[in-house]
Amino acid sequence: MKIGTESKKQVIAAVVLGAIAIPLALYTFRGFFTGSNASAAPSVPPVAAVTRPSGGLPTQDRSDPRLHLDTLEASRKVKLETGGRNIFTMEAEIPKVEGQVRAQKEYTVPLITPIPTPPPPQIPIKYYGFASKPGETKKVFLQQQGVDGVYVVRQGDIVGRRYRLVQISSNSVTMEDVLTSNRQSIPLTVR
């Protein structure tokens, strides 16, 4: 097989990559070829158990993954002091009070009286009189306090963009505040 000039660089690159890949593969799969488990931990001599000063369980070196039956047996003999509480329940038991039980002082909640709502404000309209012609609806003369001029109004009309004339009688009119739905009777005022 003849190798051309243009593919010589490719052949050199393949040889270099092969030289790197073969030792890497042998290192990775070394246990496969020898028949032993390469990932197994090397033999570790047993670690001496060290007891705690409180007389509790002996502690072991955590790097040794083997099962230590003597430590397991020692942990079974340790008695936990829980103070009489069941450690497997979430709720704490209510302690029983021995002896004389003190009488609890009874507290009375004072009754709160609701604050009465203030009366609605007076409607600032004065009623001066009425005029009616036969065949026409009755009209009244009203004046809003603080505003110059007199309004000539029929039943249902609104005065000052806020007050509606609800009912007309000979000596009074009933006005309604459109914003608060407050109705008031306004008597005839003599000038």
Indicate the residue type of 152: V
* pTM, rounded to two decimals: 0.39
For residue 138, the tally of other CB atoms under 10 A from its CB is 13
Q: What is the DSSP letter of 6?
A: T
Give pLDDT, residue 38: 45
Token duo for residue 122: 């007076």
Which residue has tokens 């829980």?
Answer: 82
Give pLDDT, residue 153: 92
* Cα–Cα separations (whole angstroms), residue 31 to 19, 25, 43: 21, 11, 16
Tens of pLDDT along the chain (191 residues) come to 555 656 888 889 999 999 999 999 888 888 776 665 545 545 545 545 554 555 555 565 667 788 888 888 888 888 777 666 677 777 776 767 666 656 667 778 888 888 888 888 899 999 888 888 888 888 999 988 888 888 899 999 999 899 999 999 888 999 999 998 899 999 987 76
**What structural domains and CATH numbers belong to the chain?**
125-187 (2.30.30.830)
Give pLDDT, residue 61: 60
137 contacts 155 by C-beta, under 8 angstroms: yes
Angle at 75 between CA 74 and CA 78, to 5 degrees: 95
DSSP bridge partners of 143: 126
Give pLDDT, residue 102: 64
Token duo for residue 179: 């914003």
